[in-house]
Amino acid sequence: MADTQLSWRLGALQMCSGTDVEENQYQVEQILKDLPPHPGDLVLLPENFAQFGITDNYRAVAEQPGDGPIQNWLSCLAKNYQITLIAGSLPTRVTGKKRCRNTSLVFDPDGRCISHYHKLHLFDVDIADSVGQYRESDQFISGEQPKWFKHQQVGVGLSICFDLRFSYLYHWLRQQGCMVLLVPAAFTEQTGRAHWMTLLKARAIEQQCYVVAAAQVGDHGGGRQTWGHSCIIDPWGHVMAELGKQIGICYGKFEVNSVLALRKRMLLQPHPHLDIRWSK
């Protein structure tokens, strides 16, 4: 990388989203107004920021990729604040299908959607909580390919929530040159308490990347509880900023020299006989 003085802020926004899209949008606007990002920052929204709850009808708010009122609103936010804004996840329509995709969308400071990622690993899990059974595949179709993009010359890897448990995805993103890994999420209270921070730190340490994790928090109705604890973690596994259980946003500074220096001191190269490539 020609310029090794690159540094800018990473932001993780924490919400308690409900089923009303306009109320959720207002919540985002107020959080950004209270603790505004700086021009050039990278800001991540949580999974299901626009609508979330036990009785979600995601298709009712789903939009065609590249078009729709929620995406237009996201574009305006990015442009107004002059930031790279990542919509943690938004339901997007699939032609000829009743189910949607759970999609991250990346908007640059000009308001353009420059990348998107469809969630690969769907949350079909039985948990001993008040909900009991989660079947994301009832409403969503899984994606097929990982995605990453560049922010100010730096590779940024995309993922969503349950993806966090699959380390090979993050290994592939590191192989593409990523230095930042994004994890928008809606971890349940129970799984979050047990595994959230452990998994986030592991991904940062093993891939020598900054991790930005933006989460849902609190009571979303119907007994659905999420863990929160949005945070920024550096490549050594140090938690630079963390929110706990409150709604808001936390920031941490990305410094490319920190990544380059660590990767020089501690080389983590795959074994030459292990050729790990992404395949469908």
Among all residues, which ones are annotated catalytic? 47, 119, 161
- Residue 255 DSSP SS3: strand
- 19: CB partners within 8 A, 6+ apart: 51, 52, 53, 55, 56, 221
> Which single residue is written with the structure tokens 């220096």?
261
Let me know if 139 is exposed, middle or buried by CB neighbors in 10 A (0-12, 13-18, 19+): middle
* DSSP per-residue codes, 116-172: EEE-SS--EEE-SSSS-EEEGGGTB----S--EEEETTEEEE---GGGGG-HHHHHH
Taking residue 155's Cβ as centre, other Cβ atoms within 10 Å add up to 18
What is the rounded distance in angstroms from the CA atom of residue 1 to the CA atom of residue 13?
29
DSSP label of 193: I
User: Please, are residues 128 and 194 in contact by the beta-carbon 8 Å criterion?
Assistant: no
Token readout for 182 is 């994004």
